[in-house]
Chains A and B, each alone.
Chain A
């Protein structure tokens, strides 16, 4: 049988899916054991007990200096920034994307501008943001918005272009005006695609958040891992990275679930074509 025709059954699929995770874990455990055997105080590849201690210290016990439980405080501030940034970017992206995607006049005015703006590396703008809006929350949220919104706008414009031209004609023959076409024909079809787009942009959003927190902040997940880096505290950094990954994964999964709940027609239409 040709390789392209060989499909794993359910149990083989599970084994194959778990395999790379297992391989990384074993490699880490082996490396850690070798280094710890040579030097029990090694900080680079701490063992499982070190992780347990660090997680206990960060996630369960209040910090001696501030009295806060650090992991939760960090998570709270980071998520607030991220959600605020992504929400603003999505709302703005939807508005501008719909305008530029539907109205040729708006497209003429916006499309070249958005294309150029999307080429500006967001991190290069970060110093300007720190100078203009200060070191507070606003600069971090703005960085996420600047980093994510142009991509969302361009993506939505392309997706509106992809809607069959026949649909817009059809809506006009049913008596729609530009506004009702926007809210009854285009918006409901664009929202699930916007959610796809947000899912793809979660990675960049976290990137901008952690960069901003690393450079100037007093709390947040990114701030913490860059702070403890000074003490080579791999026992804290690695669980934090795993935690950020888990949060990101859950957001992605949540958006996916919300999408198929809110737009049951979308999957059918997508697989039907």
Chain B
């Protein structure tokens, strides 16, 4: 179980303050969506979680341990583009994680270890719906398939935290809905927390357990340089989603009808909680 804790983090580039006073506690198994206008620093924040950038001030810990200053296998990532390796086949892309961790010298596995890695990769690719494309190169795949591949590639390394940087932003609406379904399923199945940057609010509420909005609160021209963005909204998505548990809240059989109270009050024939008490 992986709790992420962000304590008073600032990010500055020279004079320019990008983020300020970021405090955040992310519970294990959360699915957090970061939203906000362009240039509000949500991607910068994700990069700090990835250790691609380091905070200017403050600290980020995972399970109480300070983040290592460089990216590592405890945090997986899927970018909007260029997440997969063009020179490896679909299978090769997913096996790469096992090969890199299994062989520090050659980055390749042989014999039984290789067969094992191959089988694991093929199983995961089957789960993301790519079992028919094992020997294709990424350039031969559609955008949606490439992102499925990128998810499989990241998950094979069993990251504690999966970081997503606008992963579905370039996909067509229909394909995006399919990949959303897959994403939710993967989050339920794999013991990880997810942090996703998106500019699509409906996507954020559709997938996440918690939506966090970044924005600049001081926008006068003379303030823009020295005041960065901070967290302006922190919304728990309702009805609650819990990892690994079925999403009853969204099942039509359990959804309240239009005139029903939003909560089940335990009195099917009454909609007046005061009287019931």
Contact = CB atoms under 8 A, between A and B. Distances in A.
Interface in B72-100: 72-73, 75-77, 79, 81-88, 96-97, 99-100
Nearest to A188: B87
Contacts of A183: 106-107
Nearest to A176: B100
A268 interface: yes
B153 interface: yes
Contacts of A179: 104-105, 107
Given A184-B99, A265-B87, A172 B71 contact: yes
Contacts of A185: 85
Interface in A125-178: 164, 166-167, 169-177
B101 interface: yes
Contacts of A184: 96, 99-100, 107-108
A183 B87 CA distance: 12
A269 B104 contact: no
Contact of A265 (B81, B86, B105): B86
Given A173-B154, A174-B100, A184-B100, A166 B107 contact: no
A168 B56 CA distance: 23
Contacts of A272: 139
A180 interface: yes
A189 interface: yes
A170 B83 contact: yes
B9 interface: no
Contacts of B100: 171, 174-176, 180, 184
A263 interface: yes
B140 interface: yes
Contact of A164 (B81, B101, B138): B81
B70 interface: yes
A266 B88 CA distance: 10
Interface in B107-123: 107-108
Contacts of B76: 173
A179 B71 CA distance: 15
A268 B96 CA distance: 21
Nearest to B165: A166
Nearest to A268: B139
Contacts of A264: 137
Nearest to B99: A184
Contact-size category for B: 35 or more
Interface residues of A, number: 27
B50 interface: yes
Contacts of A175: 72-73, 97, 100-101, 157
Given A164-B81, A164-B82, A167-B82, A173 B137 contact: no
A193 to B, nearest CB: 11
Given A265-B139, A268-B137, A272-B139, A177 B104 contact: yes
Interface string B197-215: 0000000000000000000
Contacts of B140: 268
A172 B106 CA distance: 15
A265 B77 contact: no
A169 B107 CA distance: 16
B262 to A, nearest CB: 40
B144 to A, nearest CB: 15
Residue of B70, B73, B103, B159 with highest tally of chain A CB at under 10 A: B73
A121 B140 CA distance: 44
B236 interface: no
A258 B87 CA distance: 16
A164 to B, nearest CB: 4
B126 interface: no
15 contacts: A170-B77, A170-B79, A171-B100, A172-B72, A173-B71, A173-B75, A174-B97, A175-B157, A176-B100, A180-B104, A268-B137, A268-B139, A269-B137, A269-B139, A272-B139
Interface of B: 50, 52, 70-73, 75-77, 79, 81-88, 96-97, 99-101, 103-108, 137-140, 153-154, 157, 159
Given A180-B106, A184-B108, 12 more contacts: A169-B77, A170-B77, A170-B79, A170-B84, A170-B153, A171-B100, A173-B71, A174-B153, A175-B73, A184-B99, A184-B107, A188-B87
Identify the 3 closest CB pairs spanning chains A and B, nearest first. A164-B82, A180-B107, A272-B139
